[in-house]
């Protein structure tokens, strides 16, 4: 029985790798690559003449581009809604846990390290694909979420909007020790204090943001989401209490949706509270249009297809 199970697992992993390699294409010479990252592209419609949106997907610790592509289902949505996706991938030589180094100054700067490599990937896409430069988006899970917020804060003119899944606010740590502490016990600051930590925007505008976080996340404490929302509502000049809550979103008792709006009712920040959910990507495997993704070590079925609602 044990041998049979081992064979099944091995076959599954081989088939998964073959499938992912058919979907993703590695781009080697996309730029100077000061951060020493890998770049993968979902390439099915590379020759399209129509300008399409671009999404950057950042994986979490111990993940790979292939893994996050498979579990998130972003490539399926890209084909359905006609947008392009790139999947930056960390190397273990940079971080033994395969996490993006979201807490090192050199790696979150727009001019050096991993952030600069990701921005070079975006520039490569703009040069070689028909990309609508006004519709560039980014999302990430865990360490990828923290790096997502860093990029939104340091290069706000590049992005239209972003999504943070199980991440935290910009500036919550500047070294590994601070990062480890902030993940489990985030600083409690005012909205203005958090907003003041983000560099000034060149055009005085910041991207919109979607935040998703599980209430039982034992890796990145749920309060990180509250601090991130305080920061981003502060950047948009929104009163923290000026929000609307939809409980049991789409009839799902595990999900509440909170919208933070300005006086003109324009939504700039959305928060999905995932009740009784740990540190994982929420998915909802199935064939319906609002269902998708695949469960695994980094993804859990909560009857909520997070990628779909971000899209």
Strands 299-301 and 281-283: parallel
Residue 55's DSSP bridge partners are: 85, 137
Distance CA 276, CA 292 (A): 20
The gap between the terminal CA atoms of the chain, to the nearest Å, is 42
Residue 24's DSSP bridge partners are: 42
3-state DSSP assignment of residue 57: strand
Q: Given the residues 116, 142, 191, 307, select the one marked as catalytic.
A: 142
3-state DSSP assignment of residue 54: strand
Residue 270's DSSP bridge partners are: 210, 259
Q: How would DSSP label each residue in 15-40?
A: HHHHHHHHHEEEES-SS--TT--EEE
**Is 142 noted as a catalytic residue in this protein?**
yes
Residues that are catalytic: 142
């Amino acid at each position: 029985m044990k041998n049979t199970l081992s064979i099944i697992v091995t076959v599954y992993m081989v088939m998964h790798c073959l499938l992912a390699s058919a979907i993703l294409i590695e781009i080697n010479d996309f730029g100077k690559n000061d951060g020493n990252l890998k770049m993968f592209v979902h390439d099915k419609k590379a020759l399209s003449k129509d300008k399409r949106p671009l999404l950057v997907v950042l994986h979490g610790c111990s993940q790979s581009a292939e893994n996050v592509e498979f579990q998130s289902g972003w490539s399926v949505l890209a084909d359905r809604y006609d947008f392009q996706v790139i999947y930056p991938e960390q190397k273990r030589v940079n971080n033994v846990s395969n996490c993006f180094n979201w807490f090192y100054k050199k790696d979150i700067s727009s001019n050096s390290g991993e952030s600069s490599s990701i921005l070079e990937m975006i520039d490569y896409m703009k040069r070689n694909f028909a990309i609508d430069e006004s519709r560039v988006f980014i999302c990430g899970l865990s360490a990828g979420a923290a790096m997502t917020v860093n990029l939104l804060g340091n290069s706000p003119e590049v992005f239209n909007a972003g999504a943070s899944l199980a991440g935290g606010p910009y500036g919550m740590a500047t070294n590994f020790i601070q990062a480890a502490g902030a993940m489990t016990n985030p600083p409690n600051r005012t909205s203005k204090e958090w907003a003041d930590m983000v560099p000034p925007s060149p055009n005085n505008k910041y991207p919109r943001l979607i935040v998703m976080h599980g209430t039982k996340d034992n890796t990145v404490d749920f309060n990180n989401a509250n601090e991130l929302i305080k920061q981003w509502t502060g950047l948009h000049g929104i009163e923290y209490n000026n929000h609307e809550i939809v409980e049991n979103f789409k009839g799902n008792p595990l999900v509440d949706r909170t919208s933070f709006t300005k006086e003109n009712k324009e939504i700039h920040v959305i928060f999905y509270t995932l009740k009784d959910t740990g540190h994982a990507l929420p998915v909802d495997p199935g064939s319906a249009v609002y269902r998708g993704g695949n469960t695994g070590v980094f993804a859990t079925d909560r009857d909520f297809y997070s990628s779909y609602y971000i899209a």
